[in-house]
Structures are given as structure tokens and as C-alpha cells.
């Protein structure tokens, strides 16, 4: 495996006495796309927020290139690791260029002067996300998909080697979801940016991630290439759902089709509760 750029060691973390992560270990490969999946409230977002220092762990540590992120000066960390929260908000009336320019904050000193270097980084970020034409528009005027691209542009202007995203495709229609994930893949390939994202859609996660991390109850349940991690057994353990795993004819990655209580064809023997494993075929 490639050297790990980000390592979580025995991480215990949560909010105001409610423990969410219970001694979690995880390694994030450098230059890879990692997708974190799991049921609601399993600790995905908490993991992302602890790794990006938005919350402090009760125990354990997060190492970025061997240094504890919770001991680094904030700006130094922000030059190496970017994070895009789940539904970020911006002040009324801010323009796209202004917002993307905010990404330069960690690169500016206390008595900051906007430099040519900042201009170049903003222009490159707008270019890469296809938002250059929107630069002078107000953020409020844009569609959800455009807005998400602008937020990603802001994170790009930050020029970090590692980018963490909490559900970057939430609230987007399927075309815009694909657009955002394609964009992140482009960045990963063009700039070798390490990308870690929380995703809800297992099939998109399996298609776009080099490595899938399945979480349950504050621990890593399975981690590895999608073909190894996305199995009927994993879906059952992590989501409590019966599913069939097929080869995605488009990508060749595994894809998951869930069984519910309705709409299964008679020819498809839906697994009865209790002897579940027999019906589903592991991919």
C-alpha cells in the first residue's frame, strides 16, 4: 500500500459526553481517493471533523505526515489539509471570486497583502472547477451544483495536499453528483490531491473511491478496495440491510442492489429473516 499521509490512532471522540468514536484506527493512503460509508450516526462526520481538527479527540491522535494535527499551528495545518463541511454557509452578497479568495487565508501573513501568487491560485481554482465565468456573480444567484463547485474551488485555492469533504454531493441531483465526483477525480489525478469524503451513496462510493472505509458504531468495520469491502455481508452488518452485489456494467466496480420488503421478483428469492445469507450472492 502507498505510504499513509493521514493516520488516526486509537481515536476516541464525540460531543459533550456523548462518545461517538470508540478507539478508531485508520490509515489514509497518499494520493488516493477514500470514501467513508456507514449508517446514519455511525461516526463518519465525527471522524472527518476530528481528523480535520474541528473537534478535539478525548484520546488517541491524528497524524498528518507524522505530526499531530491537534498540535500544529492552525494556519500551518490549513496549508496542508483542507476541509469542506457538510452544508457550508456564506454571508449574503458575497461574490464567487471573493469566496474563492477566502481559501487563500492560511497563505497570508498577519498583515496580509493580496499577492500575485494569490491571484494565480484563485484563477487556477476557478478554472479547474469551471466557475471562472461566474467569478463576479453573487453566490446567492447560483444553482446548487454551481455553488458546490464554488465551495470546492475555495478549498482548491487553499492548495492543500489533503482535502476532506463531508457529503459533498448532498442535496444535488444525480447529474450534479456525478459532476462533483468527476471534478474531485480530476483533481486527484491532476494534482495528486489526497481526497477523503463521506458519501451516502454506496454505488457512487464504490465507483469513485480507490479505497472504501465502512464504519459501524464508531469503528472501522472494513477498509480496502471497493471490490473487497462492498459485499452483501458488509451491507448486512453495517446497514442491517439485505442486498445483492453485482458487477457494475459501466465501471466494472461492484454495485449494490438492496432488498426491501416489497417489489422483489418471484424469481428472485428474497432472503427470509434469520437465514439471510443464502439468498444474497457475495460479489
- Binding residues for another protein, rule: CB under 8 A, are 49, 52-54, 73-79, 82-85, 88-95, 97-103, 105-106, 112, 119, 122-123, 126, 132-133, 135-136, 158
Greatest CA span in the chain, whole angstroms? 71
Beta carbon nearer to another protein, 48 or 235: 48
Beta carbon nearer to another protein, 13 or 231: 13
Q: 64 and 77 in contact (C-beta within 8 Å)?
A: yes
Question: Please, what is the minimum distance in Å from the beta carbon of residue 83 to another protein?
Answer: 4
Beta carbon nearer to another protein, 100 or 181: 100
Question: Please, what is the minimum distance in Å from the beta carbon of residue 143 to another protein?
Answer: 19
Q: 215 and 43 in contact (C-beta within 8 Å)?
A: yes
Beta carbon nearer to another protein, 101 or 254: 101
Sequence-ordered list of residues with C-beta below 8 angstroms from that of 243, at least 6 positions apart, any chain: 232, 235, 236, 256, 257, 258, 259, 280
DSSP assignment, residue 17?
T
For residue 109, what are the CA distances in angstroms to 159, 180, 263?
16, 32, 60
Question: Please, what is the minimum distance in Å from the beta carbon of residue 204 to another protein?
Answer: 24
Beta carbon nearer to another protein, 103 or 283: 103
Distance CA(272)–CA(269), nearest Å, equals: 9
Question: Please, what is the minimum distance in Å from the beta carbon of residue 88 to another protein?
Answer: 5
Q: 274 and 230 in contact (C-beta within 8 Å)?
A: no
Question: Please, what is the minimum distance in Å from the beta carbon of residue 124 to another protein?
Answer: 11
Amino acid at each position: 500500500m502507498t505510504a499513509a499521509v493521514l493516520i488516526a490512532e486509537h481515536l476516541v471522540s464525540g460531543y459533550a459526553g456523548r462518545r461517538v468514536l470508540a478507539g478508531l484506527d485508520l490509515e489514509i493512503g497518499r494520493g488516493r481517493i477514500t470514501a467513508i460509508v456507514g449508517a446514519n450516526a455511525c461516526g463518519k462526520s465525527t471522524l472527518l471533523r476530528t481528523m480535520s481538527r474541528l473537534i478535539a479527540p478525548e484520546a488517541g491522535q491524528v497524524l498528518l505526515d507524522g505530526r499531530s494535527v491537534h498540535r500544529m499551528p492552525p494556519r500551518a495545518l490549513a496549508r496542508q489539509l483542507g476541509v469542506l463541511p457538510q452544508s457550508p454557509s456564506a454571508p449574503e452578497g458575497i461574490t464567487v471570486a471573493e469566496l474563492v479568495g477566502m481559501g487563500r487565508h492560511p497563505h497570508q501573513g498577519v498583515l496580509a497583502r493580496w499577492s500575485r501568487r494569490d491571484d494565480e491560485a484563485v484563477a487556477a481554482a476557478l478554472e479547474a472547477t469551471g466557475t471562472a465565468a461566474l467569478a463576479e456573480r453573487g453566490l446567492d444567484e447560483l444553482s446548487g451544483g454551481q455553488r458546490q463547485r464554488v465551495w470546492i474551488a475555495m478549498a482548491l485555492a487553499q492548495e492543500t495536499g489533503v482535502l476532506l469533504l463531508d457529503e459533498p454531493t448532498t442535496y444535488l441531483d444525480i447529474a450534479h453528483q456525478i459532476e462533483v465526483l468527476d471534478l474531485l477525480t480530476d483533481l486527484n489525478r491532476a494534482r495528486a490531491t489526497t481526497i477523503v469524503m463521506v458519501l451516502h451513496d454506496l454505488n457512487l462510493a464504490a465507483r469513485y473511491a480507490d479505497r472504501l472505509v465502512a464504519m459501524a458504531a464508531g469503528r472501522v468495520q472494513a477498509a480496502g478496495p471497493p471490490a473487497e469491502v462492498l459485499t452483501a455481508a458488509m451491507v448486512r452488518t453495517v446497514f442491517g440491510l439485505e442486498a445483492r452485489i453485482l458487477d457494475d456494467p459501466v465501471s466494472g466496480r461492484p454495485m449494490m442492489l438492496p432488498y426491501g420488503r416489497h417489489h422483489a421478483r418471484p424469481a428472485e428469492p428474497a432472503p427470509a429473516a434469520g437465514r439471510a445469507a443464502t439468498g444474497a450472492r457475495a460479489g
